A and B are shown apart, each in its own frame.
Chain A
Amino acid sequence: MELDPILLARIQFAFTVSFHIIFPSFTIGLAAFIATLLVRWQMTGRDHLYRLARFWTKIFAVSFAMGVVSGIVLSYQFGTNWSKFSDVTGNVIGPLIGYEVLTAFFLEASFLGVMLFGWDRVSTRLHVTAAILVAIGTSLSAFWILSANSWMHTPQGHEIKDGIAYPVDWMKIIFNPSFPYRFAHMFTAAYLTTSLVVAAVGARYLLTDKFHEEAKTMMRMGIGMVVLLAPLQLFIGDMHGLNTAEYQPVKVAAMEAHWDGTKPADLVLFAIPNEQEERNDFEIAIPNLASFIITHDTEGLFPGLKDFASEERPPVTPVFFAFRIMVGIGMILIGIGLIGALLWARGRLFESKWFIKPLSYSWSLGFIAILAGWWVTETGRQPWVVHGILKTADAISPVSAGAVLTSLILFVLVYTSVFSMGIYYINRLIEAGPKGAATDTKEGVASRPLSAAAEAAHEAIESKRSS
């Protein structure tokens, strides 16, 4: 069997980047959540906020470590497997990544040290500042990397000479047409994902009757964010889709499994796209709804897959299904927000077991939606790696298929083992819960003399402050 280095390199990048994105998706929101807890604690002096901040900081540390090590790999992978891509786009993409390192990576990595280990070493004010700076760092990182990624979808501000892209206008490059939408969409997704995890952990404690005060705060803050952000995300996602329809129409046609551009499009709820016959099998659809969503007119027309030569089309099936998974989860989140808000308004948020129980299992939904969304946009861009400039097949390094296969196997082995251990440890931390909480006297305080001393010190400071 002949191994195809391009396919192997694609699988490798999809694997490593998918694994990586799980952690930033979580830590972007979590850094902001911890900073908010600390600020609220400073303002109100309520101890359980401090305990929550410490608790989530531990989980943050484990997640962040996994994000860092899987991210370092990526910064070298452009070269190892995709050196032709680096050669062609380096003058444009390189500086954007350079700015990410300079403005974001160092900021978050340096102040992470203060955030994790500074509890008893620096003033509270400085500690809160460090947490805020880490949150700013994670957001800046998202800004730059999404700018670079968006340029690959909707490149502008450059010129091509001898097949190499050269920068002409940096503002146009950074703020390329899909960037504002992609950034807003991903940023909201990250906050939404974290909010759901926080709410799910709160729900878990309520169910097991532990850490009541902390659990209620987590439920309120988590559900509150879902109430606001889930509908907002629908709106942003819609705008992002319109932008894609304008710049990458074939991607939208694949998302909707829309073949014939001469007729208004139905909204396909389910189908098995048949790429050979250029039609959908087993289709269940709502007439004209896709046309309404994309053109805001039930009779509106937008290009179908048949308008593009078959070698210009992305693989339809994965794009179509991943899109439905993402949107489906989005709808579930809106539902969780709505029900949560209703229960909250009626004062029953913490008692309704039928809501709390499924909520406690829902922590993974945001991650799945983010992965599905990225698979839509990245698979939907094929056969291009940089739209209209460089095809994926032409971006590969001069390395042997054997080398790519070997490294792929190593990545799969190492990532699955290391990161499943990480998730196991995070689960254990969640199981143990916030230290020093009222219902946690036996393991929390006694076995950790140092943290107990710290708690005592903080309580002393607290009582002094409030008097």
Chain B
Amino acid sequence: MEDISYWLPLVWAGLLAAAVALYIVLDGFDLGLGILFPLAPAEERRDTMMNTVAPFWDGNETWLVLGGGGLFVAFPKAYAIIMPAIYIPLIVMLLALVFRGVAFEFRWVSKPKHAFWDLAFMGGSIVASFMQGVILGALLQGVNVKNGAFAGGTFDWLTPFALFCGVCVVIGYALLAATWLILKTEGDTAQWARSLATPLLMAMLLCLLVVSLWTPLSIPRIAERWFTMPNLLWLSPIPLLTTYAAYRCWHGLESITHRNDSDPFIWAVVLFMLAYIGLLISNVPFIIPPALTVWDVAGHPSAQIFSLVGAVIMLPVILGYTAFVYWTFRGKLKAGEGYH
């Protein structure tokens, strides 16, 4: 029993981390398209941009439900503490997702009077992305917990660091979206996306650099994790690989000899994953830094095992048919070709 209650929370934390990673990538380029919308005033281009994700957006957002649901399943105590702590940014994010989610359908059925839903799509996407960053920042800087319950104030999350994280996520998602468009479109739109991607990549790298300095400088336990021996050696591949991924992404965008349409997206995703892994390393084994570890808030083993059986059987199936749907709608979207 001792062993199980040690390993189960770790397995679940791993599963949740993977679900969140998938969410960030999948809904990242999806939300990013809305972030790029203001830069693409022409209706035809906006149609194309939305059509590249129209068959997927719903599945992409389901990973967010798995993130929230998974936290509730495996770490009900953490769920009960985190949700009140990030109350306002979370509610605002959910409402923003309402606007941009319905815009996928409403924009088409309201044509030609769809200006409002263009606005809803970009506003909703930008606000939702920004709030996801704010939530990330708020959790990184720590939550006030007393006696196993949230004991902070309504606006504890509102700090310069959290707001900066919000900006970073908006920039990062925009980069994912620009490289996604390079992959999925051709002609003018692809060309336009390529011209945006390089500055976005630079901005994203700047964000990574600032966060990588800001967190250890303001949070001693993160400085200790990264900058003491032998951790410094073990962890050095992370910044090195990040540099390499950034180089490959740039290479795919700008190189005369090697530029192509898939490298920028692939390496932007790798870049995202490395940043994400870096954040995990900073915080393991805390689920609510700096108060509670995954073991402190783990659900009952029976609940975790019962759900784990379902997850182990269903996740490969889900990944299988998710891949199938992406395969079905593979390839470049021709200009003017719509699914609607």
Kindly state the separation between the CA atoms of A76 and B299 in the bound complex, as whole angstroms.
Answer: 18
Kindly state the separation between the CA atoms of A86 and B79 in the bound complex, as whole angstroms.
Answer: 7
Min CB distance A416 to B, Å, is: 12
Task: Given A95-B73, A109-B59, answer yes or no on A83-B95 (Cβ-Cβ < 8 Å).
Answer: no
Which of B146-154, B201-209, B262-270, B280-288 is the contact stretch?
Answer: B146-154
Residue A388 is within 8 A (CB to CB) of chain B in the complex:
no
What 0/1 pattern do residues 307 to 333 of B give for CB contact below 8 A with A? 100110011001001101100110000
Task: Given A102-B314, A418-B98, answer yes or no on A95-B303 (Cβ-Cβ < 8 Å).
Answer: yes
Residue A235 is within 8 A (CB to CB) of chain B in the complex:
no
In contact, A106 and B322 (Cβ under 8 angstroms): yes
Kindly state the separation between the CA atoms of A90 and B12 in the bound complex, as whole angstroms.
Answer: 15
Task: Given A86-B80, A90-B79, A403-B88, answer yes or no on A73-B328 (Cβ-Cβ < 8 Å).
Answer: no
Contact partner, A101, options B58, B65, B91, B329, Cβ 8 Å: B65
Min CB distance A421 to B, Å, is: 6
Residue B224 is within 8 A (CB to CB) of chain A in the complex:
no
Which chain A residue has the least Cβ–Cβ distance from B318?
Answer: A106
Residue B143 is within 8 A (CB to CB) of chain A in the complex:
no
Residue A293 is within 8 A (CB to CB) of chain B in the complex:
no
Which chain A residue has the least Cβ–Cβ distance from B60?
Answer: A109
Which of A61-69, A190-198, A303-311 is the contact stretch?
Answer: A61-69
Min CB distance B301 to A, Å, is: 10
In contact, A76 and B94 (Cβ under 8 angstroms): yes
In contact, B299 and A101 (Cβ under 8 angstroms): no
Which chain A residue has the least Cβ–Cβ distance from B64?
Answer: A72
Min CB distance B277 to A, Å, is: 24
Min CB distance B75 to A, Å, is: 8
Min CB distance A376 to B, Å, is: 27
Residue A92 is within 8 A (CB to CB) of chain B in the complex:
yes
Kindly state the separation between the CA atoms of A126 and B299 in the bound complex, as whole angstroms.
Answer: 40
Which positions 95-132 of chain B face chain A at CB distance < 8 Å? Answer: 95, 97-99, 101-102, 104-106, 109-110
4 new A-B pairs (CB below 8 Å) besides A73-B95, A86-B83, A399-B87? A76-B68, A110-B321, A397-B150, A421-B102
Residue B191 is within 8 A (CB to CB) of chain A in the complex:
no
In contact, B84 and A397 (Cβ under 8 angstroms): yes
Contact partner, B149, options A79, A83, A103, A418, Cβ 8 Å: A83
Residue A94 is within 8 A (CB to CB) of chain B in the complex:
yes
What 0/1 pattern do residues 367 to 408 of A give for CB contact below 8 A with B? 000000000000000000000000000000111101100110
Contact partner, B55, options A64, A103, A113, Cβ 8 Å: A113
- Residue numbers in B under 8 Å from A170 (CB-CB): 302, 306
What 0/1 pattern do residues 349 to 376 of A give for CB contact below 8 A with B? 0000000000000000000000000000
In contact, A106 and B73 (Cβ under 8 angstroms): no
- Residue numbers in A under 8 Å from B338 (CB-CB): 450
Which of A116-124, A284-292, A315-323, A337-345 is the contact stretch?
Answer: A116-124
Kindly state the separation between the CA atoms of A265 and B148 in the bound complex, as whole angstroms.
Answer: 49
Min CB distance A129 to B, Å, is: 11
Which chain A residue has the least Cβ–Cβ distance from B320?
Answer: A110
Which chain B residue has the least Cβ–Cβ distance from A83?
Answer: B80
- Residue numbers in A under 8 Å from B150 (CB-CB): 83, 397-398
Task: Given A86-B79, A121-B329, A166-B302, answer yes or no on A72-B322 (Cβ-Cβ < 8 Å).
Answer: no
In contact, B56 and A113 (Cβ under 8 angstroms): yes
- Residue numbers in B under 8 Å from A15 (CB-CB): none
Point out residues on A near B: beta carbons under 8 Å. 58, 61-62, 64-66, 68-73, 75-76, 78-80, 83-84, 86-87, 90-95, 97-103, 105-107, 109-114, 116-118, 121-122, 166-168, 170, 397-400, 402-403, 406-407, 410-411, 414-415, 418, 421-422, 425, 428-429, 450
Point out residues on B near A: beta carbons under 8 Å. 54-56, 58-59, 61-62, 64-66, 68-70, 72-74, 76-77, 79-84, 87-88, 90-92, 94-95, 97-99, 101-102, 104-106, 109-110, 148-151, 154, 299-300, 302-303, 306-307, 310-311, 314-315, 318, 321-322, 324-325, 328-329, 338-340
Min CB distance A448 to B, Å, is: 9
Task: Given A65-B101, A86-B79, A166-B300, answer yes or no on A94-B72 (Cβ-Cβ < 8 Å).
Answer: yes
- Residue numbers in B under 8 Å from A399 (CB-CB): 84, 87, 154
- Residue numbers in A under 8 Å from B73 (CB-CB): 90, 94-95, 97-98
In contact, B105 and A62 (Cβ under 8 angstroms): yes
State the majority secondary structure of interface residues on A: helix
In contact, A398 and B151 (Cβ under 8 angstroms): yes
In contact, A414 and B321 (Cβ under 8 angstroms): no
- Residue numbers in A under 8 Å from B307 (CB-CB): 94-95, 98-99
Min CB distance B309 to A, Å, is: 10
Kindly state the separation between the CA atoms of A157 and B340 in the bound complex, as whole angstroms.
Answer: 48
Point out which of A79, A84, A118 has the most chain B C-beta atoms below 10 A from its C-beta. Answer: A79
Contact partner, A62, options B61, B88, B106, B324, Cβ 8 Å: B106
In contact, B154 and A400 (Cβ under 8 angstroms): yes
- Residue numbers in B under 8 Å from A73 (CB-CB): 94-95, 98
Kindly state the separation between the CA atoms of A106 and B22 in the bound complex, as whole angstroms.
Answer: 13
Min CB distance A17 to B, Å, is: 14
Contact partner, A79, options B62, B72, B99, B106, Cβ 8 Å: B72
Kindly state the separation between the CA atoms of A71 and B73 in the bound complex, as whole angstroms.
Answer: 17
In contact, A167 and B306 (Cβ under 8 angstroms): yes
Min CB distance B147 to A, Å, is: 10
Min CB distance A136 to B, Å, is: 13
In contact, B303 and A114 (Cβ under 8 angstroms): no
In contact, B65 and A72 (Cβ under 8 angstroms): yes
In contact, B62 and A109 (Cβ under 8 angstroms): yes
Which chain B residue has the least Cβ–Cβ distance from A93?
Answer: B72
Which chain A residue has the least Cβ–Cβ distance from B75?
Answer: A90
In contact, B322 and A86 (Cβ under 8 angstroms): no
Which chain A residue has the least Cβ–Cβ distance from B340?
Answer: A117
Kindly state the separation between the CA atoms of A410 and B149 in the bound complex, as whole angstroms.
Answer: 26
